[in-house]
Structure 1
Amino acid sequence: MLDYAALYRRERTMQEIVSDMTVADLHAETDEMYDTIERLIADCVDADVTFQPVDPNANDPFAGDPSAVNQAWTLGHVIVHLTASCEESAFLAAEMARGVPFHGRSRYEVPWETVTTMAQVRQRLAESRRMLHASLQMWPDQPHLDYRVEPWPGAPPVDARGRYALGLAHAYDHLGQIEEIVRQARAARVG
């Protein structure tokens, strides 16, 4: 897996991390991330998907409902959020690789409240993985890697590879959260 921790420690930029990557490497990185997530949730049951964990650091300033700003996310919520983030980065990266100027976000997030079973979680992960791989198939043989953008104001510029990998980096940032939700849910079931 790429050294996303170095990115979060601000030791390396995303562009430095992906500078030698190929499209084949991005395919492999996608599988490694999604395989990791699937390993973390392998023993989960349906009750774990909607289990309400305790998270004293919960803070979602983008929550549509003000009462949910400090509500801990369920496993279902985390999965739909991180898959939506990966997909958004992947589709923006495909446009960058084709030389299309940035024209705004490209995001859809499955309503997390509708994801209540492990079958739905696994389906969402499989669907997202398929879409990420399909997005890489849209890259031209000679991608426009000279085209770089700031993914958000003030961020170091990235090319299409960096834009794509930022979605995976976001997923990486949620791995500890998934582990903790699974740990708490399992303890509640057992104990």
Structure 2
Amino acid sequence: MRLQGKITSWNDHLGIGFVTQNGSDQQIPLRYEDFIDRSRLPAVGEVVIYEHGKDSQGRTIATRVGFPVTGNPAAQSKSSKTAKPKPPRRRTRGLGTVAVGLAVIAGVIWWQQHHAAPEPPSHDHTATTDSSIAVEPDTVFGEAAPYNCDGRRRCDQMNSCEEAAFFLRNCAAPSMDESGNGIACESSGCGWK
């Protein structure tokens, strides 16, 4: 059954609005795609003829919408608005959008790896990488120590208990003090008299 009503609101950009049936206060959704004649845009205040239908979610909407053939002052005054509207844009994420997003993420990661501020020096003395560290004369051995800090950090790399004690005191090798008592390589027999 064809009904007659007046357009009470309309959004050209989205192509949607509402129509109110004559003699009723109920507003029914109205879509541009449901107009029979799409040669011009509808406008608020225009009289339209339509049928009740259902959308994909089962809600009542106006379908098979048309303009009456008789003279309609509102329609005549709006007839200068003849530009065909763009159909409503659906917000989809295409492959291009995903690719751009991934490129931006990859660029940020690359920039952080290549332009980030250098890390502050570590206070962890086990990470010393100098192959040879100059050592002041040792009070135990008298003159300059016979050993060099060459990067070794474990008891199984030492040749003697004296060398292990030197490395513990001078070469930032706390892993050689297994019990934390200041004696190097106790499990290897050092420190026992």
Relative contact order, CA 8 A, sep 6+: which one is greater?
1
Structure with greater strand share of residues: 2
Whether TM-score is above 0.5 comes out as no
Larger Rg: 2
TM-score, length basis structure 2: 0.15
Structure with greater helix share of residues: 1
